Chain A
Amino acid sequence: MKFLFRRLFFYALTAWAAVTINFFVPRVMKGDPVQSLINRYQGQIDQDAVHSLYVLFGLDKKQSLWQQYVEYWGQILHGNLGISFTFFPTPVSDVIRTSLPWTVGLVGMATVIAVVLGTLFGTYLGWRRGTWADSFLPVMTFFSSVPYFWLGLLFIAVLAVAFPVFPASNAYTPGLEASFSWPFIQSVVQHAFLPALTIVLSSVAGWILGMRNMMVTVGSEDYVTVAQAKGLPERRVMYGYAARNAVLPQVSSFALSLGFVVSGSLVMELVFSYPGIGTQLLAAIGAKDYPLMQGIFLVITLAVLLANILADVVYVFLDPRTRQEG
């Protein structure tokens, strides 16, 4: 328990640092949001409108930095991340709320599938190393070494254009109403298939290799030999002794990759015109939309932290040695 509390304290500290940096970075940059909005409309805004914009962004008050900082925390705790320029006057939180589920759903699913498949394959390949099964490895590493955008384009060219089995873009057929109805879900799955497939193909090799190498290392541990000498069934030795220990590093890598799920596969969302958070981030950078960028960064940071907390908790369950008070 002490261990968990110490970890939680550490995470709270990290979250605080992330939010604080997020607060200061735009304030050390030149110009203010109103100036950049004026630039967007090429100066065709009259003085009254400029003044009301300052009021809207809360920049009319002459506050000290400390007061601003306190107010900023208040806003964040209420889920208020400001107003986006690009989608003016939509609040940033709304923009994130509509795009985040698509990314988390698709990339999250694909990552989980890649991890599960990769770990299972890796377990098998590591256990039966030196057999014909090893020839799988170069094929899988080929897919991960190909640049992702090229792989995506290739799949679009073949499975969406030459043989139009799957749609080439969007998250669902335009015009369908978003609901939990069968046609909508079917459309979502159909649209997600190609992006998910390419993500799995390009990332699974890493998981296979990681697990395989750990299996080879753990396979020469004394306790695996002891398990064999005990005459346990081979499946029991393979899963209960070898894989059970080899999987521990996979868990940490998985937690780290969960953080990247939220930032989305930027390239994937571009190639497949997927309306996820990566697309929004790109739009925000292109338009110098600081509030949106800040909001997305904050969500990503918190997601990475959350994923790490999760990994810590899972690790404590999986490895009794971490439970030791020290």
Chain B
Amino acid sequence: MSPAVDTTPASSPRPATARTRAEGTGARPILEIKDLAVDYGYGENRVKALRGVNLTLHEGEVLGLAGESGCGKSTLVYGATRLLPPPGLISAGEVLYHPADGSAPIDLLRQSDADLRAGRWQDIAVVFQGAMNSLNPVHRIGRQLEDAIKAHRPKSTGKEREARSRELLEMVGISAERVRSYPHQLSGGMRQRVMIAMALALEPRVLIMDEPTTALDVVMQRQILEQVQDLRDRLGFAVIFITHDVSLLVEVADRIAIMYAGEIVEEASASDVYRRPRHPYSYGLLHSFPPLHGPRRELQGIPGSPPDLQNLPSGCPFRVRCKHVMPECADVHPELGRTAFDEPRREVACLLHDAGHQVPEELSV
């Protein structure tokens, strides 16, 4: 049984631990996704949903993953955790998990089933998209909280597990009495909080949140996000936060990766992405919602529609919708690399940043 979690009230001043540590350059990587490729289906007609994605999550940081629907955000984390439903297939790559004791990293994709099961929830826990259906309708909340603990801490007694599940519910602001409730007796927001409590049951080092607030209203969304940030500051886990809501990400994330058509097109700190986008697609995404602060700016959408993954254009997949398109975009596939301004800790996949090109003004602020 893990030690009891500190249950300081949610209003306590936020300690400046995790966030500053993540922003400093010294944070150790905890999860490294390397060249991950995922296909749906087999043979000629397979859809290449993910094409060689590289992503590194550092200890204690919140990494945001944004992009349009169908760009592969969810596929990326399902693939990395080996939870892909059929016909999804991981066709290449590795996912390295760095254990807490500093021993050699483990490739999750090549782990045996038994080891994988043992590590799940303990190391990496997931809060899924559909909060409404994430709970088994026929079992009580308490039982579902407890069975995860039981599976990973077989020596714990029933009493300890019950105490822990009550404590977890209190931690996310739900009355401990609710352990006796069935899922249908809870509201959507409560169910999502139960899922968060469940994900934190074993104090994982990585928490993956797949559009955790999409189905909730804005008030509930804010409450839950504040709660997650608060818990993150206290418990120090790292978060991968997936959403299509970039404005939300700018607030909660330390670093943001923008995805387009199964690839990452830009990766940088949240404030850099927000203030100084370097990729035309990031620029488009950021200008498709009104800013909350600062001067008013004109809203612009991104012309065209998300690409058909079965029939991608040659070269850069974004070129057909890009207003800065150049002749060579049709031939050369841009790789994620340094920006034209050689900024540290940020990467972009766009030919405009190659030597010999003039970066448009809006992308060079």
Instruction: State in angstroms the CA–CA spacing of A320 and B130 once bound together.
Output: 21
Q: A245: which of B119, B129, B136 is its contact (CB, 8 Å)?
A: B136
Instruction: Count residues of B near A (Cβ-Cβ below 8 Å).
Output: 32
Instruction: State in angstroms the CA–CA spacing of A244 and B139 once bound together.
Output: 10
A321 within 8 A of B: yes
A226 within 8 A of B: yes
Closest to B133 in A: A222
Is there an interface contact between A230 and B83, defined as CB atoms closer than 8 Å? Answer: no
Closest to B113 in A: A234
Is there an interface contact between A231 and B152, defined as CB atoms closer than 8 Å? Answer: yes
Per-position binary interface string of chain A over residues 278-322, scored 1 when its CB falls under 8 Å from any chain B CB and 0 otherwise: 000000000000000000000000000000000000000011110
B182 within 8 A of A: yes
B43 within 8 A of A: no
Instruction: State in angstroms the CA–CA spacing of A232 and B117 once bound together.
Output: 7
A229 within 8 A of B: yes
Decide yes or no: A320 and B125 within 8 Å by CB, A233-B117, A241-B136 being known contacts. Answer: no
Decide yes or no: A321 and B133 within 8 Å by CB, A225-B128, A228-B83 being known contacts. Answer: no
Decide yes or no: A221 and B133 within 8 Å by CB, A231-B152, A232-B148, A240-B147 being known contacts. Answer: yes
Closest to B148 in A: A230
Cβ contacts under 8 Å, B275 to chain A: none
Cβ contacts under 8 Å, A220 to chain B: 85
Which residues between 288 and 308 of chain B lie within 8 Å of chain A, taking CB atoms?
A: none
Is there an interface contact between A229 and B81, defined as CB atoms closer than 8 Å? Answer: yes
Cβ contacts under 8 Å, B125 to chain A: 229-230
Instruction: State in angstroms the CA–CA spacing of A230 and B195 once bound together.
Output: 11
B257 within 8 A of A: no
Instruction: State in angstroms the CA–CA spacing of A228 and B134 once bound together.
Output: 11
Instruction: State in angstroms the CA–CA spacing of A240 and B137 once bound together.
Output: 11
Cβ contacts under 8 Å, B63 to chain A: none
Decide yes or no: A233 and B133 within 8 Å by CB, A320-B184, A321-B184 being known contacts. Answer: no
Is there an interface contact between A229 and B136, defined as CB atoms closer than 8 Å? Answer: no
Is there an interface contact between B120 and A231, defined as CB atoms closer than 8 Å? Answer: yes
Closest to A318 in B: B138
A interface majority secondary structure: helix
Q: B137: which of A130, A231, A234, A321 is its contact (CB, 8 Å)?
A: A321
Decide yes or no: A231 and B119 within 8 Å by CB, A236-B151, A245-B138, A320-B137 being known contacts. Answer: yes
B90 within 8 A of A: no
Q: B138: which of A230, A231, A232, A244 is its contact (CB, 8 Å)?
A: A244
A324 within 8 A of B: yes
Q: Quote the shortest CB–CB distance from B333 to chain A (angstroms).
A: 33
Instruction: State in angstroms the CA–CA spacing of A320 and B135 once bound together.
Output: 13
B339 within 8 A of A: no
Is there an interface contact between B130 and A245, defined as CB atoms closer than 8 Å? Answer: no
Instruction: State in angstroms the CA–CA spacing of A320 and B119 once bound together.
Output: 32
Cβ contacts under 8 Å, A225 to chain B: 83, 85, 128
Instruction: State in angstroms the CA–CA spacing of A233 and B151 once bound together.
Output: 7
Instruction: State in angstroms the CA–CA spacing of A166 and B268 once bound together.
Output: 79
Cβ contacts under 8 Å, A230 to chain B: 120-121, 125, 147-148, 151, 198
Cβ contacts under 8 Å, A69 to chain B: none
A223 within 8 A of B: yes
Is there an interface contact between A319 and B138, defined as CB atoms closer than 8 Å? Answer: yes
Cβ contacts under 8 Å, B147 to chain A: 230, 232, 236, 240
**Best-buried of B117, B125, B135, B185 by chain A (most CB within 10 Å):** B117
Instruction: State in angstroms the CA–CA spacing of A221 and B184 once bound together.
Output: 16
B122 within 8 A of A: yes
Q: Quote the shortest CB–CB distance from B203 to chain A (angstroms).
A: 14
Cβ contacts under 8 Å, B85 to chain A: 220, 225
Instruction: State in angstroms the CA–CA spacing of A220 and B130 once bound together.
Output: 12
Is there an interface contact between B134 and A222, defined as CB atoms closer than 8 Å? Answer: yes
Between-chain CB contacts (< 8 Å), 22 pairs = A222-B128, A223-B134, A225-B83, A226-B135, A228-B83, A229-B81, A229-B128, A230-B148, A231-B116, A231-B122, A231-B152, A232-B117, A232-B147, A232-B148, A232-B151, A234-B117, A240-B139, A244-B138, A318-B138, A319-B138, A321-B137, A321-B184
Contacts A228-B120, A319-B137 aside, 18 further interface pairs with beta carbons under 8 A come to A220-B85, A222-B133, A225-B85, A226-B134, A226-B135, A226-B195, A227-B136, A228-B83, A229-B83, A229-B120, A229-B121, A231-B116, A231-B120, A231-B152, A232-B151, A240-B139, A321-B137, A324-B185
- The chain A residues found within 8 Å of chain B, CB to CB, are 130, 220-223, 225-234, 236, 240-241, 244-245, 318-321, 324
